[in-house]
Amino acid sequence: MVTTVGTESTFDKMVQNLLILEHDAMSAYQATIDRLEDPASREKIAAFKQDHEAHARELRRMASSLGIEAPMEGDAKELLTKGKVVLAGLVGDRTVLKAMATNEIETKMAYDQASRNDAAPAEARAYFQKAFADEDRHKQWMDAAAAT
């Protein structure tokens, strides 16, 4: 799926859209944790969810400093990101992790785009690069775990 998150022409809207994306991701992560049978995989996914929670906290801080509303939930995409995981849960852990890995593609893309977007101040772009690195690490682990 191609995302336009991170390409916004204003920093305000970028922060809001990234926050919505994070809420969608956290919902999908919780659905994954609830469905995985392997305790080690559940633990790893829970740690990754904490990264998303940290991203959301930083985005809320950015929203506060901008004096804008910080969305507190996801949007309709949440049904897609979480739904893939719920359906995959009927098949098994590998399929759940494959579904989550596809969700990470959009989040990685959004942070990559935001990190290169001149609408964001340099400090925010640096944070977005860190968030991209987190998402890349998540996806790499999920791809490897799903392949075994």
Poorest-pLDDT segment among 30-39, 46-55, 131-140: 30-39
Q: Which whole-number Å values give the CA distances from 72 to 17, 20, 26, 38, 98, in the listed order? A: 11, 7, 11, 30, 27
Poorest-pLDDT segment among 49-63, 81-95, 105-119: 81-95
Among the listed residues 104, 118, 130, 136, the one whose alpha carbon sits nearest the alpha carbon of residue 14: 118
Q: Which structural domains are found in the chain, ordered by start?
A: 11-147 (1.20.1260.10)
Report the C-alpha gap between 38 and 113 in whole angstroms.
Answer: 34
Mean pLDDT over 119-143 rounds to 97
Q: Is the pLDDT of residue 68 over 60?
A: yes
Poorest-pLDDT segment among 57-61, 89-93, 114-118: 89-93
For residues 50 and 2, which has the higher predicted lDDT (pLDDT)? 50
Note the pTM of the prediction, 2 decimals.
0.86
